Amino acid sequence: MNVPEGAVVQINLVNGDGATHDITVPDFATKSNQLNAKGSSTAIVFKANKKGEFQYICSLPGHVQAGMIGKIVVGGEAAKTESKAADVSRSPLEVGTPVGARGPQKLTVNLETTEVTGQLMDGSTYKYWTFNNKVPGPFIRVRVGDTVTVNMANAKDSHMIHSVDFHAVTGPGGGAAVTQAAPGSTKSFTFKALNPGLYVYHCATPMVAQHISNGMYGMILVEPEGGLPKVDREFYVMQGELYTAQKHGTPGENEFSLEKLLAEQPEHMMFNGTHDALTKTHRMEAKVGETVRVFFGVGGPNATSSFHVIGEVFDRVYSQGDLTSPPLKNVQTTTVAPGGATMVEFKVEAPGRFILVDHALSRMEKGLVGFLYVNGADQPDVFQAHTRPDADSGH
């Protein structure tokens, strides 16, 4: 295990054989309770406040000699696994151009469905199905009253039929009924944007849940007449799930599991397609005093999100993507259904690293986390620290 100096470390222990075990890190004076039953679990938490190499062991007599010993490196560089897999994560900065005060227009949207082996997490890959090679698909931005032509091409090297269903479309299947495209073919339709709001789109080819889980979802914003009020920063974030035959963290190519999909037991949950999308790959930043807007949606296909930003309060929440009703105010956590969306706005009034989560917090351990970095001078009238923050707190 490699951890940065000053990090707060949690080690989870699961009893796999039914014998009595524990875990202890002598150099950090931490020790778990003993486990006796097969499948039982516990955890230890400590602060890695000194650099070096340290051991963790089972303290039961004879267990170290039997091999129950490991190493923690504090302040060292973790070995990096090289991968030739594509980066399929969508940048949260790709939000398109606001429509402003313009009138209705005729627009064209071009989508290509592709099947791409992408980097899921360090050392792990997955065969994603995508719109335009990224997860989520492109953020589409139109105005109420616009007439929109959608051209959907399925790549020649695809193995599956794909389609697209826009929740913003009034028509058969949201467009899916006329876009079932075989590999190498293109299907098209035209619709009028009748209802303002923030809407999800996704593939709707059977088995629909499999196509969505594999990455085939995105959002379309239908701005109201006159456009949205101006803000300083806008971000595009979507939550999704992957159901793999291999357990979370298994290196190499991970494969789809129909059994886990039907049981609604995802091994991976992510923002913008991959574990690292909003923590390492793409950087969301704002400055103290700026107003941030997040277009947030849930591709799913199954889990409802309890969207929350740790250390912030949403000044305005446009619940269920409704952009014309008065927003909710001063909201801590907002519920977003699979296939649903919301728009939140908040002024960032103190510097630091603010963490995007689903407040069903066990999902952080499956990869569901993102960072918003707020830069600027300390604001002691808003927040004043009386102790030094932990290394992983983001300040």
268 marked ligand binding residue: no
Residue 100 buriedness (CB in 10 A; 0-12 / 13-18 / 19+): exposed
216 marked ligand binding residue: yes
Max Cα distance, the chain (Å): 78
| Concatenated DSSP letters of 158-183 | -SS-B--EETT--SGGGGGGG--B-T
CA–chain centroid gap for 85, Å, is 19
202 marked ligand binding residue: yes
162 marked ligand binding residue: yes
Residue 71, both tokens? 């190493």
CA–chain centroid gap for 320, Å, is 18
Residues 120, 243: contact at Cβ < 8 Å? no
**Length of the chain (residues):** 395
63 marked ligand binding residue: no
Place of tokens 């222990």: 13
159 marked ligand binding residue: no
21 marked ligand binding residue: no
Question: Rg for the chain (alpha carbons), in Å?
Answer: 23
Residue 162: which residues within 8 A CB-CB, separation 6 or more?
113, 129, 152, 154, 180, 181, 203, 205, 211, 216
Give the integer Cα–Cα distance in Å for 174 and 40. 47
| Concatenated DSSP letters of 310-355 | ET--EEEEEGGG-SSSPPEEEESEEEE-TT-EEEEEEE--S-EEEE
User: Pick from 116, 54, 124, 50: which is nearest to 86 by CA?
Assistant: 116
| Concatenated DSSP letters of 56-99 | EE--STTTTTTT-EEEEEESSPPPPPP---B--BPPTT------
Question: Which residues fall in the annotated binding site for Cu cation?
Answer: 162, 167, 202-203, 211, 216, 359
Binding site members: 162, 167, 202-203, 211, 216, 359
